[in-house]
Amino acid sequence: MGVLDDFSLDGKVALVTGAARGLGQGIALGLAEAGADVAALDIVSVDETGDLVQNEDRRFHAVNVDLLESDAKLAAEVVEECVSELGRLDIHVNNAGIIRRAPALEFGEDDWEAVIKINLSAAFYLSQAAARHFVEEGRGGKIINTASVLSYEGGMIVPSYSASKAGIANLTRALANEWAPLGINVNAIAPSYFTTELTSALREDTERSEALLARLPAGRFGEPEDLKGAAVFLASDAADYVHGAIVPVDGGWLAR
């Protein structure tokens, strides 16, 4: 086998959360292009993602779940459904995320709790459920989290989002420390500003958009397909010795 074979995901099954659009859809498509069958989880329709995955001649399963209701029981049910429908689970991607913007002095309880629940708590419960399955099957697995450049920076008027993404970075390290000996790789991708619904308010603000682009060495916002390579790498055998890494895919944002 050559090095390119190490990047193949043929015969693998991936579960991707927040996969209806944006970064999650881009990641799901990248994994399918590398050979994986895909279960896509979201609160809204994932039909578009399903069409893209099936166009790659990969199997697809839709999981419609509200992660605001997430707990250990729901996470276990999601993993069980994925295994039941697609036969196995090898790769789990915690990508689902929301953002709420308001000054910290005015930030509401609901906006704090919802962001932490979806961005951080659901990621832990689903990682735990996936890891329990990996251990039970005895063949290891890959867990990939979507962190952010705000895992490193405080940002402005997004206190719950910044806190959740810093939490994701350290959760990635904490789980890697425990699960690496079990053959489970836990890593994260840290995007900067991408053309998704999450950043639409920033991109539509001309002054803010120009300031962001001036700071980005790449000179453009990221596109969901820009995450494909990092996701496939971290999901593949090529990353077997990569544990607890946060991989920036940020157009150079953190380097400036």
Task: Provide CB contacts within 8 A for 87, sequence distance 6+.
Answer: 13
Active site residue 161: yes
Structure token pair of residue 73? 């029981």
C-alpha–C-alpha distance, residues 63 and 18, integer Å: 10
- The single residue of 125, 152, 161, 193 carrying the catalytic annotation is 161
Residues 36, 37, 41: CA angle, nearest 5 degrees? 115
Q: Are 129 and 78 in contact, with CB atoms under 8 Å apart?
A: yes
Amino acid at 30: G
Three-state SS annotation for the chain: CCHHHHCCCCCCEEEEECCCCHHHHHHHHHHHHCCCEEEEEECCCCHHHHHHHHCCCCCEEEEECCHHHCCHHHHHHHHHHHHHHHCCCCEEEECCCCCCCCCHHHCCHHHHHHHHHHHHHHHHHHHHHHHHHHHHHCCCEEEEEECCHHHCCCCCCCHHHHHHHHHHHHHHHHHHHHHHHHCEEEEEEEECCECCHHHHHHHHCHHHHHHHHHHCCCCCCECHHHHHHHHHHHHCHHHCCCCCCEEEECCCHHHC
Report the catalytic residues: 161
